[in-house]
Amino acid sequence: MTADLVVVGAGVVGAACAYFASLAGLRVVVVERGALAGGTSSAGEGNLLVSDKEEGPELDLALYSQRIWREDLGPHAGLWEFESKGGLVVAASDEGLASLRELSVHQRRCGVEVRDVARDELRDHEPHLSPGLAGGAFYPQDAQVQPMLVVAHLLRLAREAGARVRTRTEVTGFLRDGDRVTGVRTTGGDIPAGAVLNAAGTWAGGVADLARVHVPVLPRRGFILVTEPLPARTIRHKVYAAEYVGDVASSDAALQTSPVVEGTGAGTILIGSSRERVGFDRTVSAKAVGTLAAKAIALFPMLREVRAMRTYLGFRPYCPDHLPVIGPDPRAPGLWHACGHEGAGIGLSAGTGRLIAQALAGDEPDLDLTPFAPDRFPVAEEALR
Amino acid sequence: MPDTYDVAVVGAGPAGLAAAVESAAAGLGVVLIDAAGQPGGQYWRHYDENHARPDDRRGHHGLRTFTRLRERLDVLIGAGRIRYLPGHQVWLITRGEGGEFTLRLTPTTSPATDGTDGLSRAETARALILCPGGYDRQLPVPGWDLPGVMAAGGAQALLKGHRTLAGRRAVVAGTGPFLLPVATGLARAGAGVAAVVEANGTLGWLRDPVGTMSVPGKGVEALQYAALMARHRVPYRRGTVIREILGEGRVEAVRIARVDRADGRLAGPEEEIAADLVALGWGFTPSLELPLMLGAQTRRDVDGSLVVVVDDLQRSTVGGVYVAGEATGVGGAALAVAEGRLSAVALAVALRRAPESSREAVTAVIRRLRGEIRRGRRFAAAMHRAYPVPVAWTRWLTGSTLVCRCEEVSYGDLVRACRDLGAQDARTLKMLARPGMGWCQGRVCGFATAEIAACLNRRETTAEDLRPLSTRSLAVPVTLGELAALADDAPGG
């Protein structure tokens, strides 16, 4: 078996890259050591957000991805339960509201749609919100998908365009010709390829190590609580506290929690989000889930008597500068990366896949990939490993 | 800071009662936590003791064992050596820096009816003996979501716990010897039992010389049931399954068909039997929420159930966590009592509470209990082999048969997720099609979903298929208010 492109990882980023590369005419093989979307892709809420991003390359990629989700992938939106539900960011204090307003000024300049929401209009958007809040902002572009279905259908569509998907196949090394990467060694045999794309998410650092290049992706753990099903539209939008934006951008290793509350098509309410750097520890943290519940109740007092059915956790692929790694690796020609999207991978996957396919085909990508360059990290970052 | 007990025993069924009593007798400080209002578990379930009637315990087996354990429990509670917390469920167990376990409890019944404040509470212990028991295993069949269809154990629990007959004309179906006490119990309480529909041959376990000889008392039990079945003229249909449950708005009849003895493929003519109650049981599913939450290693047992791996002292792979009863392999009450006792004795030795002078006696007790457990396991394995879930059971399903009733996921939905979307294992199937995502969190459909995932991918079911549908991050649902309390009193996590 040979290929133009081997994609390592069948998460949402790998699936999107495989899909767009297959459409561009490349012969693609996806190798995945576990099952489809078995890592972080199945451990989140499926958010396509612009609201939580400050001016910069990540917001550019998020806005670009919005276009891909709605236009290129628009005809398939129903397959993965795409819902343009909108996001409501709320501030508890006047100071919080002031910084939210300032953030939105910059966001508007970049092309984000934002509507200011006054204190007394909040409950028109969300009838069950706590009455004590200072105000908020509504982001109509924020949307949601069911990420497992995204992965499964993108890979199905890629297969229909000629791609092959090998699950339970682990990459154990790279085929090399001098510095050049010429394929992968796997538990299922060698696969020579014109290019290899590292889309291994939180585990991408380990794949890069096999090619003897350094990509500093670290796990940042998060918990989500799932409630019993409630009547439809009890909570209509993705609702979160303004402090969330600051927590996302923080590099602190200690536990941070900012309430993010939203309804789903199944009627359950999802409650996030926590962030902590504790390696790959899978034990339930009473402190983290307790704090999530407390903060969700502060936003929506009616949730106090609602029962939680389960909690789940995942590991966001986190880079020290909070930007993903996208593009060819000059240190190992033939090796490409699309990883490190932290908590935004579902939303950013569509744009990432499209850009990678353009660059692989030798075209000028729609967005400049320089801010996402794989070799941008100073060598001192080694200390973080 | 609450007192730290030497051991928390979870569950007051046969295993838990024995474990608690034996632990306290060995001098350990014990807290015994049980979901039910009175001890006995499912096996020794009985009517509210405050309003007891002499015939409440009719049909109970091993009642002498229960009475004796019960008397010792009362004495030890009275002496302050066992703290007994009925009506509480453990929903989360976490481990502190020193290795001690913190168990979060929530009341089983609503605060309005039980007189407590309804708030969750926490207990801490140095070691755990988990005896969570099990419940009826179910296989989906067309029409099983109609009112009037129950778990066999559910029909029995209504009788034993509430003196309530769930119907006037019953069909008891599935496989295994447990169908017999359910059918005879219903008949004795006055229901007409139209048929016991057994997928396998009958009394196959009596043909297994090694297994049957292991526990001689069981043969007598079987003969008693056979006599009762004859007295109540209950037809016993072997090699037969319910093909479909019929009715408009509730059960009116079942359609049964003969199946191939070798693999359970539908083989024979169909026949309708009128009924207003259908009690289904395909063996038992152990409740593994707590051991899995703690990271205990599990395996697939002879009967296809996921069970906890324990050594010959009932120790799981997690330090300080002992497991006894059905959670280590479905095997019935007598075996569970022996395992409960052994775990307590072993824990007392590990905590050096067994006095030096009695070292020899303790060794003898351990040897005797191990022998009893070995024989019980051999017997259980023989039973499981005689009453397997038929290999070809998924062939009885139609595309529209509901597999997950909570989320209304049909067999056809599962087929599409496997064939079109590439689900190769139960976890992926669950994430793509939502079986096991609803209220019961896979308690009812978990076994069936795991088997379907494996079957559609043309391979044997594995422990990896069963595990994601048996794992529950919260052992029971709790309010966000109860969860929020963790934020204050959980140092570090």
HEC-encoded secondary structure of chain A? CCEEEEEECCCHHHHHHHHHHHHCCCCEEEECCCCCCCCHHHCCCCEECCCCCCCCHHHHHHHHHHHHHHHHCHHHHHHHCCECCCEEEEECCHHHHHHHHHHHHHHHHHCCCCEEECHHHHHHHCCCCCCCCCEEEEECCCEECCHHHHHHHHHHHHHHCCCEEECCCCEEEEEEECCEEEEEEECCEEEEEEEEEECCHHHHHHHHHHCCCCCCCEEEEEEEEEECCCCCCCCCCEEEECHHHHHHHCCCCCCEEEEEEEECCCCCEEEEEEEECECECCCCCHHHHHHHHHHHHHHCHHHHHCEEEEEEEEEEEECCCCCCEEEECCCCCCEEEEECCHHHHHHHHHHHHHHHHHHHCCCCCCCCCHHHCCCCCCHHHHHHC
Tokens matching residue A245? 């934006």
Instruction: Provide the chain A residues 109-148 that lie in CB contact (below 8 A) with chain B.
Output: 148
Which residues in chain A touch residue B421, judged by CB atoms under 8 angstroms apart? 36, 149, 152-153, 156
Helix or strand or coil: residue B427?
Answer: helix
Kindly determine whether residue B491 and residue A283, on different chains, have CB atoms separated by under 8 Å. no
The amino acid that residue B233 corresponds to is R
Are residues A288 and A171 part of one domain? no
Are residues A314 and A337 part of one domain? no
Backbone angles phi, psi at A168, to 5 degrees: 50, 40
Q: How far apart are the first and last CA of chain B?
A: 16
Which residues in chain A touch residue B483, judged by CB atoms under 8 angstroms apart? 225, 289-290, 292-294, 308
The amino acid that residue B361 corresponds to is A
What pLDDT does residue B101 have?
97
Helices B179-188 and B152-162 cross at an angle (nearest 10°) of 40
Q: Which of A275, A299, A318 is the last residue of a domain?
A: A318
Does any domain span residue A243? yes
Kindly determine whether residue B483 and residue A225, on different chains, have CB atoms separated by under 8 Å. yes
Are residues A160 and A261 part of one domain? no
Q: Is the pLDDT of residue A170 over 80?
A: yes
- Average pLDDT in the B149-173 region? 91
Residue A139 CA, chain-centre distance (Å), reads: 18
A263, β-bridge pairs: A269
Are residues A228 and A125 part of one domain? yes
Does any domain span residue A113? no
Is residue A259 within 8 A of residue A296, CB to CB? The reply is yes
Which residues in chain A touch residue B420, judged by CB atoms under 8 angstroms apart? 156
Q: Is the pLDDT of residue B115 over 90?
A: no
Q: What is the per-residue pLDDT across A271-307, written as a single tens digit (0 to 9) for each?
A: 998 999 999 998 889 999 999 999 999 999 999 999 9
DSSP symbol at B315: B
Q: How far apart are the first and last CA of chain A?
A: 35
Kindly determine whether residue A310 and residue B474, on different chains, have CB atoms separated by under 8 Å. yes
What pLDDT does residue B184 have?
92
DSSP symbol at B400: T
Mutate to test the interface with A, among B90, B102, B431 (most CBs of A within 10 A): B431
Does any domain span residue A193? yes
How distant is the Cα of A38 from the closest Cα of chain B, in angstroms? 8
- Average pLDDT in the B375-393 region? 93
Does any domain span residue A41? yes
Q: What is the per-residue pLDDT across A114-143, written as a single tens digit (0 to 9) for each?
A: 999 999 999 999 999 999 999 999 999 999
Q: Is the pLDDT of residue A5 over 60?
A: yes
What pLDDT does residue A256 have?
85
Kindly determine whether residue B473 and residue A284, on different chains, have CB atoms separated by under 8 Å. yes
Report yes or no: A38 at the B interface, CB cutoff 8 Å.
Answer: yes
What pLDDT does residue B109 have?
74
How far from B355 is each of B72, B362, B365, CA to CA, in Å? Answer: 21, 9, 14
DSSP symbol at B3: P
Kindly determine whether residue A36 and residue B428, on different chains, have CB atoms separated by under 8 Å. yes
What pLDDT does residue A56 have?
95
Does any domain span residue A298? yes
Is residue B17 within 8 A of residue B324, CB to CB? The reply is no
DSSP symbol at B387: S
* Nearest chain B residue (CA) to A155: B421
What pLDDT does residue B110 have?
59
Q: Is the pLDDT of residue B205 over 60?
A: no
- Average pLDDT in the A219-240 region? 94
What pLDDT does residue A254 have?
81
Are residues A343 and A274 part of one domain? no
* Nearest chain B residue (CA) to A37: B428
A184, β-bridge pairs: A174, A191
Residue with tokens 């000059």: A330
Q: Is the pLDDT of residue A16 over 90?
A: yes
Q: How confident is the model at residue B353 (pLDDT cuts 50, 70, 90)?
A: confident
What pLDDT does residue B263 have?
83
Which residues in chain B touch residue A228, judged by CB atoms under 8 angstroms apart? 439, 477
Q: Is the pLDDT of residue B348 over 70?
A: yes
Report yes or no: A269 at the B interface, CB cutoff 8 Å.
Answer: no
Is residue B171 within 8 A of residue B195, CB to CB? The reply is yes
- Average pLDDT in the B353-370 region? 86
Q: Which residues of A347-361 are buried (b: 16+ CB within 10 A; e: fewer)?
A: bbbbbbbbbbbbbbe
Tokens matching residue B454? 């494996």
Q: Is the pLDDT of residue A230 over 50?
A: yes
Are residues A191 and A43 part of one domain? yes
Report yes or no: A160 at the B interface, CB cutoff 8 Å.
Answer: no
- Write the residue in B417, B420, B485 that is nearest to A290 by C-beta: B485
Residue with tokens 């609201």: A51
Which range (A331-345, B255-269, B335-349, B422-436) has the least confidence? B255-269
Kindly determine whether residue A293 and residue B431, on different chains, have CB atoms separated by under 8 Å. no
Kindly determine whether residue B428 and residue A37, on different chains, have CB atoms separated by under 8 Å. yes
- Percent with pLDDT over 70 in chain A: 98
- Average pLDDT in the A191-209 region? 98
Report yes or no: B295 at the A interface, CB cutoff 8 Å.
Answer: yes
- Write the residue in A35, A156, A294 that is nearest to B420 by C-beta: A156
Q: How confident is the model at residue A385 (pLDDT cuts 50, 70, 90)?
A: very low
What pLDDT does residue B113 have?
46
Report yes or no: A304 at the B interface, CB cutoff 8 Å.
Answer: yes
Kindly determine whether residue B477 and residue A307, on different chains, have CB atoms separated by under 8 Å. yes
> The CATH number of the domain where A352 resides is what?
3.50.50.60
Q: Which of A318, A347, A367 is the last residue of a domain?
A: A318
Is residue A174 within 8 A of residue A333, CB to CB? The reply is no
Q: Which domain holds residue A345?
A: 3-47+147-217+321-384
Q: What is the per-residue pLDDT across A307-333, written as a single tens digit (0 to 9) for each?
A: 999 999 999 999 999 999 999 999 999
Residue of A85, A107, A87, A94 whose CA lies nearest to A135 = A94
Q: What is the per-residue pLDDT across A88-120, written as a single tens digit (0 to 9) for each?
A: 999 999 999 999 999 999 999 999 999 999 999
Q: What distance in Å separates the CA atoms of residue B102 and residue B486, rounded to the nearest whole number?
A: 11
Q: Which residue has the higher pLDDT, B226 or B10?
A: B10
Q: What distance in Å separates the CA atoms of residue A130 and residue A301, rounded to the nearest whole number?
A: 6
Do you find a cis peptide bond into A273, omega within 30 degrees of 0?
Answer: yes
Are residues A223 and A213 part of one domain? no
Are residues A240 and A178 part of one domain? no
Kindly determine whether residue A167 and residue B485, on different chains, have CB atoms separated by under 8 Å. no
Report yes or no: B122 at the A interface, CB cutoff 8 Å.
Answer: no
Q: How confident is the model at residue B212 (pLDDT cuts 50, 70, 90)?
A: low
A221, β-bridge pairs: A276, A315
* Count of domains observed in chain A: 2
Q: What distance in Å separates the CA atoms of residue B224 and residue B366, rounded to the nearest whole number?
A: 32
Q: What distance in Å separates the CA atoms of residue B288 and residue B135, rounded to the nearest whole number?
A: 11
Q: Which of A318, A337, A360 is the last residue of a domain?
A: A318
- Write the residue in B423, B437, B486 that is nearest to A287 by C-beta: B486
Q: How confident is the model at residue B489 (pLDDT cuts 50, 70, 90)?
A: low
Q: Which residue has the higher pLDDT, B267 or B59?
A: B267
**What is the residue-averaged pLDDT of chain B?**
90
What pLDDT does residue B490 have?
53
Q: Is the pLDDT of residue A220 over 90?
A: yes
A171, β-bridge pairs: A186
Tokens matching residue B387? 């009453």
**What is the residue-averaged pLDDT of chain A?**
94
What pLDDT does residue B344 have?
97
Q: Which residue has the higher pLDDT, B163 or B180?
A: B180
Are residues A293 and A230 part of one domain? yes
- Percent with pLDDT over 90 in chain A: 89
> What does B325-361 look like in DSSP terms, one character per residue?
SGGG----HHHHHHHHHHHHHHHHHHTT-S-GGGHHH
Does any domain span residue A270? yes
The CA R_g of chain B, rounded to the nearest whole Å, is 23
How far from B191 is each of A68, A296, B47, B53, B195, CA to CA, in Å? Answer: 64, 51, 19, 20, 12
Residue of B413, B410, B456, B466 whose CA lies nearest to B142 = B410
Kindly determine whether residue A165 and residue B422, on different chains, have CB atoms separated by under 8 Å. yes
Are residues A166 and A207 part of one domain? yes
Are residues A237 and A197 part of one domain? no
Contacts of B67 (CB under 8 A, 6+ apart): none
Report yes or no: B112 at the A interface, CB cutoff 8 Å.
Answer: no
Q: What is the per-residue pLDDT across A337-361, written as a single tens digit (0 to 9) for each?
A: 999 999 999 999 999 999 999 999 9
Total-model pTM: 0.93
Kindly determine whether residue A287 and residue B487, on different chains, have CB atoms separated by under 8 Å. yes
A73-80 contact pairs (CB < 8 A, 24+): A73/A350, A76/A153, A76/A157, A79/A149, A79/A153, A80/A145, A80/A146, A80/A147, A80/A149, A80/A150, A80/A153
Which residues in chain B touch residue A149, judged by CB atoms under 8 angstroms apart? 421, 432
Does any domain span residue A361? yes
What pLDDT does residue B230 have?
84
Kindly determine whether residue A311 and residue B474, on different chains, have CB atoms separated by under 8 Å. yes
Q: What distance in Å separates the CA atoms of residue A160 and residue A23, rounded to the nearest whole number?
A: 10
How far from A300 is each of A46, A265, B66, B77, B154, CA to CA, in Å? Answer: 21, 19, 49, 43, 38
How distant is the Cα of A194 from the closest Cα of chain B, in angstroms? 26
- Write the residue in B407, B438, B487 that is nearest to A294 by C-beta: B487
Does any domain span residue A283? yes
Residue with tokens 């490993």: A385
Q: How confident is the model at residue B1 (pLDDT cuts 50, 70, 90)?
A: very low
What pLDDT does residue B194 have?
96
Q: What distance in Å separates the CA atoms of residue B182 and residue B109, rounded to the nearest whole number?
A: 26
Report yes or no: A153 at the B interface, CB cutoff 8 Å.
Answer: yes
Q: Which residues of B71-94 are buried (b: 16+ CB within 10 A; e: fewer)?
A: ebbeebbeeebbbbbebbbbbbbb
> The CATH number of the domain where A225 resides is what?
3.30.9.10
A267: alpha, beta or left? (left if phi > 0; alpha if psi -120 to 50): left
Q: Is the pLDDT of residue A194 over 70?
A: yes
What pLDDT does residue A252 have?
78
- Average pLDDT in the B290-316 region? 97
Mutate to test the interface with A, among B91, B429, B480, B488 (most CBs of A within 10 A): B480
How distant is the Cα of B424 from the closest Cα of chain A, in angstroms? 8
Are residues A378 and A331 part of one domain? yes
Mutate to test the interface with B, among A264, A307, A310, A312 (most CBs of B within 10 A): A307
Residue with tokens 């092959």: A164
Contacts of B408 (CB under 8 A, 6+ apart): B402
Which range (A42-56, A131-145, A230-244, B224-238) has the least confidence? B224-238
Q: What distance in Å separates the CA atoms of residue A355 and residue A352, rounded to the nearest whole number?
A: 5
What pLDDT does residue A212 have?
96
What pLDDT does residue A383 have?
46
**Beta-carbon contacts below 8 Å between A and B:** 124
